[in-house]
Amino acid sequence: MADDVFADAEAWGFETRAIRAGQPHDPTSGAVVTPISLATTFVQEDVGVHRGYEYSRTGNPTRTALQECLASLEGAAHGLAFGSGMAAEDTLLRTLAPGDHIILGNDAYGGTFRLISAVLAPMGIEWSAADLTDPAALATEMRPNTKVVWAETPTNPLLTVIDLEAIAEVAHSGDAMFVVDNTFATPYLQQPLSLGADAVIHSTTKYCGGHSDVVGGFVALNDDALAERLAYLQNAIGAIGSPFDNYLTLRGLKTLAVRMDRHCESAEAVVEFLQSRNEVIEVRYPGLPDHPGHEAAARQMKKFGGMVSFRVAGGKDAAMRLAVSTQVFSLAESLGAVESLIEHPGAMTHASAAGSPLEVPDDLIRLSVGIESLPDLLGDLAAAFDRL
Ligand code: P1T
C-alpha cells in the first residue's frame, strides 16, 4: 500500500480514490481495470520466497485491490474483505473469549442479533442490548468484562442515529472496542474511524457493491495488531469471497459517490411524499428536522442516506398489504442497490428478533430507494396506497 499514491486521502478526493486506490494499471498489459486473479496458488522461487502471495485463501491480488480501495475510502490503515457481512462480523467477534461481554445497540440488523444471541452466546459470550441514543444508558450497561460496543447508524431498520463521538467516549471509558456497522451510511456519507470507532463493518452486499449481484463483507481498522489477528482468523476460518466477488465489489465502489447522491436525493423526495399521505403515521428518516438524531446526523453524515422507514395506519395487516402492492419497488430483502426494494422487517429481515429487545414494530415498512426515475418511484407508491 505504501507505493500506492492514490490511497492517500490527503492528496486525492473520495471519487478519485474509489476509482484508483489499490488499482494500479496491470504491469504486464497496461490494463486499466484490475484483473480477476483466479489462481488458487502462486509459484515460489525458493521455499517461502514469493511475490507476496502463496495460496488464494490467505491472499489474492484482486482481494488486495478491493481491500486497499475500501480501506482508503474509510480512512483506515487496514481493510479485510470477507465472503459476506456476517462472515466479517463473525471473524471480528472471534477475537473475543468466553466470559467476554458484548453490548449491542437495541436496533440492529436481525442477523447480527442472531449471530450474537444464538451462535456466540451458547459458546460463552455474554451480551446485552442498550439504547445507544443515550450515552448515559450505555454507561450503566458497561461491565468490567465488556469488550465490544456494537452500533449501527443509521440503524436497520428504524433509522435511529447514534452520536458516534459520544458513544466512543463511553466505550473507551471501559475496556471495550467500539465497532460501527457503516453499511447504511457508506464511507461516502460517514467515516466512523475519524469519529472514535475502532473498527468499521460493512455488508458490501449493499451500497458498496450496489447492484444486487454480489454478497460480501468488510472490516476497516487502524490497529496493526488487531488487523494481523483478523488476517490470521480469516485465513484460519476461510471466510473469504471469490476473486470475481471481489472484482464486482471493487467495480461497484467506483460509482458509489454518484449512486449515493442520487439515492439520497430520491429518498428525500420519497420522504416528502410519504408525509403527505394519511395512510402513514410516522416517517423515519435522519434528514427530517424533527428526527431525534437529526442534529447528530447533520454533524457526522454528508447527506442522510437512501433508506426510508415508515409506519402504516391500519397495523400489520395494512403494512403487509402495502408491501405486496408496489411494482417498481420489488418486495425483497436486502438494500442499497440500484433497484428500489420494499420489505416488512418484522416478518422478513428482522423476524429473528421477535420477542427480544430488538423486536421491530409490526406496522413498519422499510424502503431502499433506488436510482430509477423519480416520478416512477413516487407514482408507484401513490398507486400502492390507493390500492390499500
Ligand atoms: O447479508 P450480509 O452481506 O451477510 O450482511 C449482513 C448485514 C450486516 N449489517 C447490516 C446493517 C445489514 O443490513 C446486513 C444485511 N442486511 C440485509 C440483508 C437486510 O435486508 O437488511
Predicted confidence (pLDDT) per residue in 153-195, tens digit = 999 999 999 999 999 999 999 999 999 999 999 999 999 999 9
Interior angle at CA 129, CA 126 and CA 132, nearest 5: 130
pLDDT tens digits along 234-243: 999 999 999 9
Burial of 250 (0-12, 13-18, 19+ CB in 10 A): buried
Pocket lining: 156 vs ligand 1, CB cutoff 6 Å? yes
CA of 329 to the centre of ligand 1 (A): 19
The residue whose CA is least distant from atom 17 of ligand 1 is: 334
CATH-assigned architecture of domain 257-387: Alpha-Beta Complex (3.90)
pLDDT score, position 1? 47
For ligand 1, say whether the CB of 353 is within 6 Å of any of its atoms: no
Q: Indicate if ligand 1 lies below 6 Å from the C-beta of 23.
A: no
Q: What is the pLDDT of residue 3?
A: 72
Cα 366 from Cα 22, distance rounded (Å): 35
The question of whether 188 is a catalytic residue gets the answer: no
Is 206 a catalytic site residue?
yes
| pLDDT average, residue stretch 301-319 | 98
Residue nearest to atom 19 of ligand 1 (CA): 334
Q: Could you give phi then psi for residue 331, rounded to 5 degrees? A: -75, 105
Region of residue 38 (phi > 0: left; psi between -120 and 50: alpha; otherwise: beta): alpha
- Which of 158, 206, 218, 334 should be mutated for ligand 1, with most atoms under 8 A from CB? 206
Cβ contact 307:369 at 8 Å: yes
Determine the residue type at 57: R
How far does residue 345's CA lie from ligand 1's centre (Å)?
Answer: 12
pTM: 0.97
CATH code, 3-254 = 3.40.640.10
Residue nearest to atom 20 of ligand 1 (CA): 334
What are the boundaries of each domain within the chain?
Answer: 3-254, 257-387
| Percent of residues, the chain, with pLDDT higher than 90 | 98
